[in-house]
Chain A
Amino acid sequence: MAVIKPMISVEYAGNATIVRFTDEKILEEKDIKALQNSVMPIIESASGRINLILDFGNVRFLSSAVLGLLIRISKRIYECEGQLRLCNINPKIYEIFKITRLTKTFDIYESSEGAIEDLSQAD
């Protein structure tokens, strides 16, 4: 497992790239910018289309600015004809997704295993 920057770690499983957020809180604009600067190059550097899983297992608190980042990431992935899955979202944060109806926009899985399996079937 390669640690790219303090805020994410990256792992590869089957045809999927798993990006784990390592921080408990993602709030400040500079943190969100740093995340964007970490995740976007992974999408850009993928040879062909990427199957990306974002793992929120460590995250206990985030602001709506993070949702904006997720939208930007998903747009870029779909432009590259890739696929995006979210997983391991704690119940309080899942509530934020429900309130904003982003549960309708993102494919969300309980575990990274479930997301990996789904992507392996999709290919």
Chain B
Amino acid sequence: MVVESKSSAVSEVCKQILSKLEAYNFGKDDIFAVHLTLEEAFLNAVKHGNKMDPTKTVKIDYSVDSDKVEICITDEGEGFEPDSVADPRFGIGLFEPGGRGLLLMNSYMDTVKYNERGNSVYMVRYKEKPDMTIGSGEIEA
């Protein structure tokens, strides 16, 4: 799907993708993780990629099956070099207001890859396995 490059447009994107996750019985942790990732990645595309230009668009490709969700978000910007982004967990970054979106995306998704230009991010999260420990109700004695 292709949507307007404005931050409020993420709600429809989330609605569509998260409803698919629910249909495929993804758990609450998966849905929280993908929701957070969509918010962060989409805002990055609008703000840093398309530089808040309302005439630009953001393209979202996604696929959901019983094992995983794949999401690709592409903006019309010039791209960026992910390795050039400072780690916000250390030094002065810890006290900076911004710069935590990529860290959260990397933490909550199993795969995060950028295209060569750096204007498109591809992410995968595999469905969390059910808790199989004794007492969880999943295993019968």
Contact = CB atoms under 8 A, between A and B. Distances in A.
- Chain B contact residues (Cβ within 8 angstroms of A): what range? 20 to 34
A104 B107 CA distance: 18
Interface string B6-29: 011000000000000000000001
A20 to B, nearest CB: 22
Query: Interface of chain B, helix or strand or loop or mixed?
Result: helix
Interface in A9-68: 27-29, 61, 63-65, 67-68
Interface stretch (A81-89, A94-102, A113-121): A94-102
Given A71-B96, A100-B104, A63 B89 contact: no
Interface residues of A, number: 21
Closest 9 CB pairs of A and B: A68-B97, A64-B100, A101-B89, A71-B97, A63-B39, A99-B107, A64-B101, A100-B100, A68-B98
Given A67-B97, A71-B96, A100-B104, 18 more contacts: A28-B8, A29-B7, A63-B43, A64-B100, A64-B101, A68-B97, A68-B98, A71-B95, A71-B97, A92-B32, A96-B36, A99-B103, A99-B107, A100-B89, A100-B100, A101-B90, A102-B94, A105-B95
15 contacts: A28-B8, A29-B7, A61-B36, A63-B36, A63-B39, A67-B97, A68-B98, A71-B95, A75-B95, A96-B104, A99-B103, A100-B100, A100-B103, A100-B104, A104-B94
